[in-house]
Amino acid sequence: MTYLNAKNNQKLNTRQIRSFKKKTTNKNLQMLTCYDFQTSQLLNETNLDLILVGDSLGNVILGYDYTIEVSIDTMVLFSKAVKKGAPEKFVIADLPFGSYASMELGLANSIKLFQQSGVEALKLEGAYTQELQLIERLTQIGIPVMGHIGLTPQSVHEQGGYYTHGKDEYSQKKLMNESLALQAAGCFAIVLEFVEQGLAQKITEALTIPTIGIGSGTMTDGQVLVINDLLHLGKNDPPKFCKPLANIYQTKKQLIEDYLK
Protein backbone atom coordinates (compact mmCIF):
# COMPACT_ATOMS: atom_id res chain seq x y z
CA MET A 1 0.00 0.00 0.00
CA THR A 2 1.38 3.41 -0.90
CA TYR A 3 1.29 6.65 1.08
CA LEU A 4 -1.07 8.31 -1.36
CA ASN A 5 -4.29 6.89 -2.74
CA ALA A 6 -5.90 7.18 -6.17
CA LYS A 7 -8.37 9.83 -5.08
CA ASN A 8 -5.61 11.99 -3.70
CA ASN A 9 -2.99 11.61 -6.38
CA GLN A 10 -1.02 14.77 -5.78
CA LYS A 11 2.69 15.35 -5.65
CA LEU A 12 4.19 14.83 -2.22
CA ASN A 13 6.32 17.60 -0.75
CA THR A 14 9.27 17.47 1.64
CA ARG A 15 7.16 18.50 4.63
CA GLN A 16 4.90 15.49 4.07
CA ILE A 17 7.78 13.11 3.39
CA ARG A 18 9.86 14.34 6.33
CA SER A 19 7.06 13.57 8.80
CA PHE A 20 6.05 10.22 7.27
CA LYS A 21 6.36 7.20 9.58
CA LYS A 22 4.94 3.77 8.81
CA LYS A 23 3.97 3.14 12.44
CA THR A 24 1.58 6.12 12.44
CA THR A 25 0.18 5.72 8.91
CA ASN A 26 0.31 1.94 8.58
CA LYS A 27 1.45 2.52 5.00
CA ASN A 28 4.69 2.15 3.10
CA LEU A 29 6.45 4.98 1.33
CA GLN A 30 7.00 3.48 -2.11
CA MET A 31 9.87 4.55 -4.33
CA LEU A 32 10.91 3.07 -7.69
CA THR A 33 13.81 3.97 -9.91
CA CYS A 34 13.14 5.32 -13.39
CA TYR A 35 15.50 6.39 -16.15
CA ASP A 36 13.44 7.39 -19.19
CA PHE A 37 10.59 9.62 -20.35
CA GLN A 38 8.06 6.96 -21.36
CA THR A 39 8.36 4.96 -18.15
CA SER A 40 8.10 8.10 -16.07
CA GLN A 41 4.91 9.04 -17.94
CA LEU A 42 3.53 5.67 -16.91
CA LEU A 43 4.63 6.06 -13.28
CA ASN A 44 3.14 9.54 -13.25
CA GLU A 45 -0.27 7.91 -13.75
CA THR A 46 0.13 5.52 -10.80
CA ASN A 47 -0.05 5.99 -7.03
CA LEU A 48 3.70 5.65 -6.63
CA ASP A 49 5.00 8.07 -3.99
CA LEU A 50 8.56 8.80 -5.12
CA ILE A 51 10.66 8.35 -8.26
CA LEU A 52 14.42 7.95 -8.03
CA VAL A 53 16.68 8.58 -11.00
CA GLY A 54 19.36 6.34 -9.53
CA ASP A 55 22.93 6.19 -10.70
CA SER A 56 22.08 2.47 -11.06
CA LEU A 57 21.29 3.62 -14.60
CA GLY A 58 24.99 3.05 -15.15
CA ASN A 59 24.40 -0.69 -14.62
CA VAL A 60 20.96 -1.28 -16.09
CA ILE A 61 20.85 1.27 -18.92
CA LEU A 62 24.45 1.85 -19.90
CA GLY A 63 25.86 -1.61 -19.13
CA TYR A 64 28.65 -0.37 -16.85
CA ASP A 65 30.11 -2.75 -14.27
CA TYR A 66 29.96 -0.11 -11.54
CA THR A 67 27.98 3.08 -10.89
CA ILE A 68 31.40 4.73 -10.48
CA GLU A 69 31.50 5.39 -14.24
CA VAL A 70 28.38 7.58 -14.22
CA SER A 71 29.05 11.29 -14.73
CA ILE A 72 27.15 14.38 -13.63
CA ASP A 73 26.25 15.20 -17.26
CA THR A 74 24.71 11.74 -17.66
CA MET A 75 22.63 12.28 -14.51
CA VAL A 76 21.43 15.65 -15.82
CA LEU A 77 20.40 14.12 -19.16
CA PHE A 78 18.42 11.20 -17.70
CA SER A 79 16.93 13.15 -14.78
CA LYS A 80 15.61 15.79 -17.14
CA ALA A 81 13.88 13.13 -19.27
CA VAL A 82 12.32 11.48 -16.20
CA LYS A 83 11.12 14.77 -14.73
CA LYS A 84 9.58 15.75 -18.07
CA GLY A 85 7.40 12.61 -18.03
CA ALA A 86 6.41 12.83 -14.37
CA PRO A 87 5.40 16.40 -13.55
CA GLU A 88 3.07 15.18 -10.78
CA LYS A 89 5.65 13.11 -8.94
CA PHE A 90 8.35 13.99 -6.42
CA VAL A 91 11.51 13.03 -8.31
CA ILE A 92 14.92 12.55 -6.70
CA ALA A 93 18.18 12.38 -8.68
CA ASP A 94 21.43 10.76 -7.56
CA LEU A 95 24.63 12.76 -7.30
CA PRO A 96 27.14 10.43 -9.00
CA PHE A 97 30.57 9.26 -7.88
CA GLY A 98 33.15 12.02 -7.38
CA SER A 99 30.67 14.83 -8.03
CA TYR A 100 30.65 15.80 -4.33
CA ALA A 101 34.22 14.92 -3.37
CA SER A 102 34.71 18.44 -1.98
CA MET A 103 32.33 21.16 -0.80
CA GLU A 104 33.10 23.26 -3.87
CA LEU A 105 32.51 20.41 -6.34
CA GLY A 106 29.43 19.23 -4.43
CA LEU A 107 27.79 22.65 -4.47
CA ALA A 108 28.53 23.30 -8.15
CA ASN A 109 27.33 19.85 -9.28
CA SER A 110 24.26 19.84 -7.03
CA ILE A 111 23.14 23.22 -8.33
CA LYS A 112 23.75 22.06 -11.91
CA LEU A 113 21.79 18.81 -11.52
CA PHE A 114 18.95 20.38 -9.52
CA GLN A 115 18.58 23.43 -11.75
CA GLN A 116 19.03 21.78 -15.16
CA SER A 117 16.91 18.67 -14.54
CA GLY A 118 14.06 20.25 -12.57
CA VAL A 119 13.88 17.40 -10.04
CA GLU A 120 12.57 18.05 -6.54
CA ALA A 121 15.54 16.66 -4.56
CA LEU A 122 18.98 15.03 -4.73
CA LYS A 123 20.38 11.91 -3.07
CA LEU A 124 23.97 11.30 -2.05
CA GLU A 125 25.83 8.37 -0.49
CA GLY A 126 27.72 8.40 2.81
CA ALA A 127 27.75 10.35 6.06
CA TYR A 128 31.31 11.49 6.73
CA THR A 129 31.89 15.08 7.92
CA GLN A 130 32.30 16.29 4.34
CA GLU A 131 28.94 14.88 3.24
CA LEU A 132 27.18 16.13 6.37
CA GLN A 133 28.48 19.66 5.80
CA LEU A 134 27.41 19.55 2.16
CA ILE A 135 23.90 18.33 3.10
CA GLU A 136 23.60 21.19 5.58
CA ARG A 137 24.65 23.74 2.97
CA LEU A 138 22.39 22.29 0.26
CA THR A 139 19.32 22.38 2.50
CA GLN A 140 20.20 25.98 3.44
CA ILE A 141 20.16 27.02 -0.22
CA GLY A 142 16.91 25.16 -0.91
CA ILE A 143 18.00 21.78 -2.25
CA PRO A 144 16.37 18.92 -0.32
CA VAL A 145 18.65 15.92 0.24
CA MET A 146 17.95 12.23 0.73
CA GLY A 147 20.73 10.31 2.52
CA HIS A 148 21.95 6.82 1.63
CA ILE A 149 23.97 4.55 3.92
CA GLY A 150 24.77 0.86 4.43
CA LEU A 151 25.87 -0.64 1.14
CA THR A 152 26.85 2.38 -0.92
CA PRO A 153 27.70 1.17 -4.45
CA GLN A 154 29.90 4.18 -5.24
CA SER A 155 32.24 2.92 -2.47
CA VAL A 156 32.12 -0.76 -3.50
CA HIS A 157 35.90 -1.06 -3.77
CA GLU A 158 36.51 0.71 -0.46
CA GLN A 159 33.78 -1.35 1.28
CA GLY A 160 35.15 -4.57 -0.19
CA GLY A 161 32.20 -5.81 -2.24
CA TYR A 162 28.43 -6.04 -1.90
CA TYR A 163 27.23 -7.45 1.45
CA THR A 164 24.86 -6.78 4.35
CA HIS A 165 26.03 -4.05 6.72
CA GLY A 166 25.37 -3.73 10.47
CA LYS A 167 26.16 -7.28 11.49
CA ASP A 168 28.81 -6.45 14.10
CA GLU A 169 28.74 -4.00 16.99
CA TYR A 170 31.13 -1.50 15.40
CA SER A 171 29.16 -1.35 12.17
CA GLN A 172 25.85 -1.13 14.08
CA LYS A 173 27.03 1.86 16.11
CA LYS A 174 28.46 3.50 13.01
CA LEU A 175 25.22 3.15 11.04
CA MET A 176 23.05 4.37 13.93
CA ASN A 177 25.32 7.42 14.42
CA GLU A 178 25.36 8.12 10.69
CA SER A 179 21.54 7.99 10.54
CA LEU A 180 21.17 10.46 13.40
CA ALA A 181 23.83 12.72 11.90
CA LEU A 182 22.14 12.70 8.47
CA GLN A 183 18.83 13.62 10.09
CA ALA A 184 20.50 16.44 12.07
CA ALA A 185 22.22 17.70 8.90
CA GLY A 186 18.81 18.17 7.27
CA CYS A 187 18.04 15.03 5.22
CA PHE A 188 14.30 14.56 4.64
CA ALA A 189 14.63 10.74 4.32
CA ILE A 190 17.36 8.10 4.32
CA VAL A 191 17.89 5.05 2.12
CA LEU A 192 19.16 2.01 4.04
CA GLU A 193 20.70 -0.37 1.53
CA PHE A 194 21.54 -3.88 2.68
CA VAL A 195 21.36 -3.02 6.38
CA GLU A 196 20.76 -5.95 8.74
CA GLN A 197 16.99 -5.96 9.30
CA GLY A 198 17.01 -5.75 13.12
CA LEU A 199 19.27 -2.71 12.92
CA ALA A 200 17.18 -1.19 10.10
CA GLN A 201 14.19 -1.42 12.46
CA LYS A 202 16.10 0.21 15.35
CA ILE A 203 17.27 3.05 13.10
CA THR A 204 13.70 3.51 11.81
CA GLU A 205 12.43 3.76 15.40
CA ALA A 206 15.21 6.20 16.39
CA LEU A 207 14.52 8.65 13.56
CA THR A 208 11.71 11.16 13.04
CA ILE A 209 12.33 11.16 9.25
CA PRO A 210 11.46 8.08 7.16
CA THR A 211 13.84 5.28 6.28
CA ILE A 212 13.51 3.69 2.85
CA GLY A 213 14.96 0.21 2.66
CA ILE A 214 16.36 -1.97 -0.08
CA GLY A 215 17.42 -5.45 0.95
CA SER A 216 16.97 -4.31 4.58
CA GLY A 217 13.81 -6.19 5.63
CA THR A 218 10.24 -4.98 5.95
CA MET A 219 10.42 -2.77 9.03
CA THR A 220 11.64 0.42 7.34
CA ASP A 221 9.13 3.20 6.63
CA GLY A 222 9.34 2.63 2.91
CA GLN A 223 10.84 0.46 0.20
CA VAL A 224 12.79 1.24 -2.95
CA LEU A 225 13.35 -1.10 -5.87
CA VAL A 226 15.11 -0.81 -9.20
CA ILE A 227 12.24 -0.94 -11.70
CA ASN A 228 14.29 -3.12 -14.04
CA ASP A 229 14.47 -5.75 -11.26
CA LEU A 230 10.78 -5.51 -10.38
CA LEU A 231 9.71 -6.04 -14.01
CA HIS A 232 12.65 -8.30 -14.92
CA LEU A 233 13.57 -6.04 -17.82
CA GLY A 234 17.13 -7.37 -18.06
CA LYS A 235 18.65 -10.65 -19.17
CA ASN A 236 20.02 -11.55 -15.73
CA ASP A 237 17.91 -12.61 -12.75
CA PRO A 238 17.18 -9.77 -10.27
CA PRO A 239 18.69 -9.88 -6.75
CA LYS A 240 17.11 -12.42 -4.36
CA PHE A 241 15.21 -9.87 -2.23
CA CYS A 242 13.25 -8.70 -5.29
CA LYS A 243 10.45 -10.92 -6.56
CA PRO A 244 9.81 -9.79 -10.15
CA LEU A 245 6.17 -9.24 -11.13
CA ALA A 246 6.77 -10.59 -14.63
CA ASN A 247 9.59 -11.46 -17.00
CA ILE A 248 9.31 -8.61 -19.45
CA TYR A 249 12.68 -9.50 -21.00
CA GLN A 250 11.33 -12.89 -22.11
CA THR A 251 7.99 -11.42 -23.18
CA LYS A 252 9.67 -8.82 -25.38
CA LYS A 253 12.05 -11.40 -26.82
CA GLN A 254 9.12 -13.66 -27.70
CA LEU A 255 7.25 -10.80 -29.35
CA ILE A 256 10.26 -9.93 -31.51
CA GLU A 257 10.76 -13.59 -32.44
CA ASP A 258 7.07 -13.91 -33.38
CA TYR A 259 7.33 -10.75 -35.46
CA LEU A 260 10.42 -12.03 -37.26
CA LYS A 261 8.58 -15.24 -38.23
Binding site for ligand KIV (CB under 6 A): 33, 52, 54-56, 94, 148, 191, 193, 214, 224, 226
User: Among the options 120, 178, 193, 196, which is catalytic?
Assistant: 193
Minimum Å gap between C-beta 184 and ligand KIV is 22
- CA diameter of the chain: 61
Q: Are 126 and 146 in contact (CB under 8 A)?
A: no
If the CB atoms of residues 9 and 64 are measured against ligand KIV, the closer one turns out to be 64
Distances (CA, A) of 177 to 111, 116, 200: 28, 33, 13
**CB-nearer residue toward ligand KIV: 200 or 224:** 224
Give the integer Cα–Cα distance in Å for 62 and 123. 20
**Nearest distance, CB of residue 112 and ligand KIV, angstroms:** 19
Rg (CA), the chain: 18
What is the smallest separation between the CB atom of 239 and ligand KIV, expressed in angstroms? 10
CB of 94 or CB of 114, closer to ligand KIV:
94
- DSSP β-ladder status, 222-225 and 211-214: parallel
Cβ nearer to ligand KIV, comparing 49 with 94: 94
Tell me the residue number closest to ligand KIV, measured at CB: 54
- Please confirm, yes or no, whether 131 is among the known catalytic residues: no
Please state, in angstroms and rounded to a whole number, the distance separating the CA atoms of residues 127 and 132.
6
Q: Which residues are the active-site residues?
A: 193
